Structure 1
Amino acid sequence: MRRYRWWIGGGVLVFVVGLVAIFVFSGPGTPTGPVKRPGPPGTGPLTIVSLGDSTISGEGAGDYTLDTNGSDGDWCHRSPNAEVFETDVPGIAAKTNLACSGAPAAQVALGDTKQWNEPSQALQLANLVKDHRVAVVVVGVGANDDPHFSELVSQCFQAWFLSGNPPCSTAIAPGWQSRIDAMVPKVVSALADVKKVLAQAGYETGDYQLVLQSYAAPIGPGIPADLQNLNGCPFKTEDLRWVRDQGVPALSAGLSRAATQAGARFLDLSRAGRGHEACSGGADAGKEWFSRLTLQLNDLADANRAGHALQESFHPNANGHAEVGRCLTEFLATALPSAACLSGSDGNLHAAATVVAAG
């Protein structure tokens, strides 16, 4: 009986010692899960950054910064009216635009590819994080790679201009998907380099949001006949319809795949311009979110600028950038992996779950 009581006493002693050990090493109230980081590492203001090509640099929105409006051959056309400056994200104190008109994915990525004499945008991001805490990176790129969207617009203009020519979409449509498929890995690689730059600066995945956005159709069918020419939108009706209903949606689907593969969030802009395309406003261009055929006559007198006199044509204007900036702001406030910018009952763009938008 005494031996039995000894084992009971010994067991209780071991149990108490175990509790003391747990208390000493854990401490009272010590959380058992991972500690939440306070946000991006480093010093400086919380910042949102835009990378990519003309649709996000601000081409078409006017008021370009002097250093990107032809100075020393730099035609990146960054505008203070660009989308990133139209965002209003709580806590974000600084907004930086590193995008450059005409940029391919390789110039967004790390490497030696330049655009208008500017180095890699990912490398510029690496310099930025030295004195900024980057909370959001939004990227708009891909159209200048295999799809060559600007060349597509030129082809469609030529199809309208030369009497008897078939619609440009007749030649473009059969190979359009293969172009998009070739573009996808290039965009994925660029996004991987953006993530690499931030990782090397000590960022973890949860420290920032990485968003890839697609493109809005700048033109569409149903425009007034008196603007379906050099007065505004010189394209055949069949091509206006193909660009809006097939070309741009397919491009957006490819970019959605790229975002998934790269582990980025995705913002679908393919239907963002519906009803507000170039020339859709008729006599009231103020209703439009995209620039019409735009010729800077003053540039024609300068040999260094003449080749860029049409550069602004068929890009989001200041109104368009303001709308997309509002939609992006809404999207960043959600936990949705993807969303579509669609017009709401108030006439403005809002972020809607893509599964809803597809219905």
Structure 2
Amino acid sequence: MLARVTAVAVSVALAATATPALAEADSRADLPSAIVSMGDSFISGEAGRWRGNGLTHYPGSRWGTDLAAYDCNSGESWCYHDPARVYGASYDNGCHRSDVAEITHVPSVTVGGVSYPVAPENRVNLACSGATTEAIDTTPFKDPTTQADQLATLAETRRIRLITVSVGGNDIDFAGIIFGCVAAFTEGSSEHCMTTYGPELPARVLTMADNIRRAVGSIRTVMRDAGYADGDYRLVLQSYPAPIPASAENRYVATDWSRWNEGGCPFYDDDSDWAHDTVLPLIAEAIEGVTGADTGTEFLELRHAFDGHEVCAKGVTQATEDNTLKNPLPMAESEWIRWIGVPYLSQGQEQEYAHPNRYGQLALGRCLSALAAATATTHTCEGPA
């Protein structure tokens, strides 16, 4: 089974003093049900352009991995490319809301024991690549208004049943940490990133948790101002899936440059283990600490959702010249994370690195779908058995 969701805690009352549900309380009872994603690149759909990784210089379909490719020659060694085919209008401002973002895969949601179908056009993605918690409620980022302001507008025209949020990574500059690890490896530094960033990380994460709590409060305020009771919809915070495996599960030898120029995972073993076994759990625990009865939020644990499918993981591979857009490398055999900085290979944009690719977003969508169908308030999504 691709993703198994385990209920870890039974449902708790989200609002003991909630006012009557919207279905009974106001004139919006006939509005279509909607679900919404908010936050950063891990939920906006960044890297959704890529269906796995393909190590080729040809500016074609990149062995069937580049979904921005079209009007290719017969061998797909040359194609036109238009990232807007995947990211739509959000390609222009860099939000990169892809057509396969997590929220697009959720067909229904259960609220108060009732299952509500959600049409594709009502699965709304407000997230933006690079966003911090401030982009949700205080400072517009790439878009003209904050995500909370966009939510307020949507709440007037749709019956919002579920809001899921992925945010916090940019508050602690997780991308800076990742690229610090990359720089240490590619420059042959004796000072590894776990030493550089490790001491300051706990304080960053504590601040991040406070920021997330503030943003959650702002979302609640927007919905209450729009006439929603807290129990009229579900509010979910999710953690982050691991982009790289622990060192023992990396198929490339750490002392070999192939880890960089073939695999696209240029990390020392100790930095890999630190990121996988310390950084991600620390972030996840902080996010989970914001959830619960006091904030009325649910938690979706995603750390292990890509187990065995991280970039450079053993047991999976990259596409080859035998693969094409019509004959792609299957999901079960592929990496679900966009690789990082293969030198001299011009493919896509740097901001796509280390994000869930098209297959990864499908996996996350299945995790969220399982949560939406369940009633428990804490959920763990695990990778393939």
TM-score category, normalised to shorter length: 0.7 to 0.9
State which of 101, 107, 112 in structure 2 corresponds to 1:88. Answer: 107
State which of 114, 124, 127 in structure 2 corresponds to 1:99. Answer: 127
TM-score normalised by length of structure 2: 0.72
Letter of the 2:105 counterpart: E
Aligned counterparts of 1:40 and 1:61: Cα–Cα separation in 2: 40
Which structure would you say has the larger Rg? 1
Q: Tell me what 1:15 maps to.
A: none
Aligned counterparts of 1:263 and 1:161: Cα–Cα separation in 2: 44
Q: Tell me what 2:250 maps to.
A: 223
Aligned counterparts of 2:187 and 2:299: Cα–Cα separation in 1: 39
Q: Tell me what 2:227 maps to.
A: 202
**Secondary structure of 1:130's partner?**
helix
Q: Shift of the alpha carbon at 1:118?
A: 3.7
Are 2:334 and 1:287 equivalent residues in the alignment?
A: yes
Task: Note the 1:49-60 alignment, pairs <5 A.
Answer: 49-60=36-47
The structure with more helix, counted as a fraction of residues: 1
Moved over 6 A (4+): 295-300
Q: Tell me what 2:204 maps to.
A: 179
Aligned counterparts of 1:296 and 1:162: Cα–Cα separation in 2: 13
Letter of the 2:234 counterpart: Q
TM-score normalised by length of structure 1: 0.77
**Secondary structure of 2:300's partner?**
strand
What's the CA shift string for 1:143-180, capped at 9, x where partnerless?
111x2100011100111012242221112122211111
Aligned counterparts of 2:383 and 2:266: Cα–Cα separation in 1: 26
Are 2:283 and 1:264 equivalent residues in the alignment?
A: no
Q: Shift of the alpha carbon at 1:344?
A: 4.9
State whether residues 265 and 339 of structure 2, in contact with CA within 8 Å, keep that contact through their aligned partners in structure 1.
yes
* Larger RCO, structure (CA 8 Å, separation 6 or more): 2
Aligned counterparts of 1:120 and 1:295: Cα–Cα separation in 2: 35
Aligned counterparts of 2:20 and 2:126: Cα–Cα separation in 1: 33
Query: RMSD between aligned alpha carbons?
Result: 2.4
Q: Which runs of 5+ in 2 are unaligned?
A: 1-18, 50-84, 109-115, 320-332
Letter of the 2:318 counterpart: D
Are 2:178 and 1:153 equivalent residues in the alignment?
A: yes
Letter of the 1:289 counterpart: W
- CA shift in 2, pair 1:294/1:59, >3 Å: farther
Q: Tell me what 1:338 maps to.
A: 378
Q: Shift of the alpha carbon at 1:272?
A: 1.5
Aligned counterparts of 1:142 and 1:148: Cα–Cα separation in 2: 9
Q: Tell me what 2:89 maps to.
A: 67
State whether residues 40 and 134 of structure 1, in contact with CA within 8 Å, keep that contact through their aligned partners in structure 2.
no
Are 2:161 and 1:121 equivalent residues in the alignment?
A: no
Are 2:277 and 1:245 equivalent residues in the alignment?
A: yes
What percent of counterpart residues are identical? 32
